[in-house]
Amino acid sequence: MSHATLPPRAMLPLALALGFPSAMRADPIITEFLAANTKTNADNDGAFSDWIELFNPDATPANLAGWYLTDNATLKTKWQFPAVTLPAGGYLIVWASNENRRDPAKPLHTNFVLSAEGGYLALIKSDGTTATSEFAPAYPPQLIDVSYGVTQPTGSGEESTRSFLRTPTPNARNGGPTTVLITERVVFSRASGPFTDTVTVALSGATAGQRIRYVIAPPTTTGATVPEPGPTATIYTGPITVSASSIMQAMIYGADNLATSFPATAHYVRLATTGSARLDTFSSQLPLMVIDTHGTGSLVKSDNVRPGWIYTWSRPATGNTAMTVPPTALSAITTNVRGASSADFPKKSFTLRLDDTLGRDNPLPLYGLPTFENWTLIGPWNYDRTFLNNAFIYALSNRLGRWAPRTQIVELFFNANGGDLDQSDYVGIYILTDSLRINSKRVDLAKLEPNDLGTKKITGGYLLKLDLPDSNEFNFQLRRGFPGLPFALGVSQPKLADLHPSQQDYVSNYFQQFDDALTANLASGWKDRTHLDYIDRGSWVDHHILNVLGMNVDGLVRSTYMTKDRESRLQAGPVWDFDRALGGGDPRSQNHEVWQGDNGATDFWNYGWWGLLAQDPEFLQAWLDRWQLLRRTELSAPSLATLVDSLAAQIGPAAAARDAARWPDNAPRFGGGWQGEIDALKSWLARRALWIDAHFAAAPTVFAGAGTLVVTPAPGTQLAYTTDGTDPRAFGGLLAHAVRLSSTAVTVPATADLQARSYRPNFTTPDGPATTWSSAVSGARSSTLAPRPRLANLSSRGFIGSDENILIAGVVVNDTAGKQYLARAVGPALTGFGVAGALAQPVLRILDSRGRELARNSAWETGPDADDIADLTQFVGAFPFAKGSKDAALLARLPAGQFTLQISSATTGSGVGLAELYEIDPGIGRTLNLSTRGLVRGGDEVLIGGVVVRGPGPKRLLIRAIGPTLGAFGVAGTLADPVLTLFDKASVQVAINDDWSTRGSAGATAIEVAAAAAAAGGFALPPDSKDAVLLLTLAEGPYTAQITGKAGASGVILFEIYEVP
What is the 3-state secondary structure of 818-861?
A: CEEEEEEEECHHHHHHCCCCECCCEEEEEEECCCCEEEEECCHH
- Residue 938: CB atoms within 10 A of its CB come to 12
**SS3 call for 157:** coil
354 within domain boundaries: no
Contact between 565 and 445 under an 8 Å Cβ cutoff? The reply is yes
CB burial string 300-324: b at 16+ within 10 A, e below: ebeeeebbbbbbbbbbeeeeebebe
1009 within domain boundaries: yes
The pLDDT of residue 12: 34
Residue 154 and residue 24 in one domain: yes
d(C-alpha 117, C-alpha 35), whole Å = 9
Section 421-426 average pLDDT: 97
Residue 1001 and residue 857 in one domain: no
409 within domain boundaries: no
* Structural domain range at position 151: 3-177
131 within domain boundaries: yes
Last residue of a domain, one of 778, 808, 837: 778
Helices (H) and strands (E) in the chain, counts: 10, 61
User: Is the pLDDT assigned to residue 14 strictly greater than 60?
Assistant: no
Instruction: Please give the mean pLDDT across all residues of the chain.
Output: 90
Residue 526 and residue 586 in one domain: yes
Q: Given the DSSP bridges, would you call strands 91-96 and 108-109 parallel, antiparallel or unpaired?
A: parallel
Over the stretch 696-710, which tens digit does the pLDDT of each residue have? 999 999 999 899 999
Q: How many domains does the chain have?
A: 7
Please give the model's pTM, rounded to 2 decimal places.
0.84
Section 190-213 average pLDDT: 96
Section 562-576 average pLDDT: 97
885 within domain boundaries: yes
pLDDT bracket for residue 20 (50, 70, 90): very low
Residue 705 and residue 689 in one domain: no
Contact between 73 and 120 under an 8 Å Cβ cutoff? The reply is yes
Last residue of a domain, one of 655, 674, 693: 693
User: Is the pLDDT assigned to residue 136 strictly greater than 60?
Assistant: yes
Sequence letter at residue 738: A
Over the stretch 89-123, which tens digit does the pLDDT of each residue have? 999 999 999 999 999 999 999 999 999 999 999 99
Residue 152 and residue 191 in one domain: no
Least confident of 5-19, 83-97, 388-402, 778-792: 5-19
Contact between 917 and 794 under an 8 Å Cβ cutoff? The reply is yes
d(C-alpha 1031, C-alpha 1010), whole Å = 10
- Residue 324's alpha-carbon distances to 196, 320, 991, in angstroms, are 8, 12, 80
Over the stretch 920-976, which tens digit does the pLDDT of each residue have? 887 787 776 677 777 887 666 677 877 878 766 678 888 999 999 988 888 888 999
Over the stretch 521-550, which tens digit does the pLDDT of each residue have? 999 999 889 999 999 999 999 999 999 999
d(C-alpha 995, C-alpha 679), whole Å = 69
Contact between 431 and 380 under an 8 Å Cβ cutoff? The reply is yes
Residue 533 and residue 586 in one domain: yes
User: Is the pLDDT assigned to residue 406 strictly greater than 50?
Assistant: yes
417 within domain boundaries: no
Compute the CA torsion angle 31, 35, 39, 45 (nearest 10 deg): 90
Over the stretch 456-493, which tens digit does the pLDDT of each residue have? 999 999 999 999 999 999 999 999 999 999 999 999 99
The fraction of the chain above a pLDDT of 70, given in percent, is 95
CATH number of domain containing 812? 2.60.120.380
Residue 262 and residue 143 in one domain: no
Last residue of a domain, one of 144, 177, 210: 177
Residue 885 and residue 966 in one domain: no
665 within domain boundaries: yes
d(C-alpha 234, C-alpha 715), whole Å = 86
Residue 476 and residue 600 in one domain: yes
Section 585-593 average pLDDT: 94
CATH number of domain containing 946? 2.60.120
454 alpha-carbon distance from chain centroid: 18
Section 68-79 average pLDDT: 97
CATH number of domain containing 140? 2.60.40.1260
Residue 821 and residue 898 in one domain: yes
- Beta-bridge mates of residue 54: 30, 92
Q: In what order do the strands lie in the sheet with 746-749?
A: 701-704, 708-712, 746-749
Residue 20 and residue 157 in one domain: yes
Over the stretch 996-1026, which tens digit does the pLDDT of each residue have? 888 765 677 888 888 888 887 788 999 889 9
27 within domain boundaries: yes
The pLDDT of residue 770: 87
886 alpha-carbon distance from chain centroid: 41
Contact between 712 and 1039 under an 8 Å Cβ cutoff? The reply is no
Residue 49 and residue 68 in one domain: yes
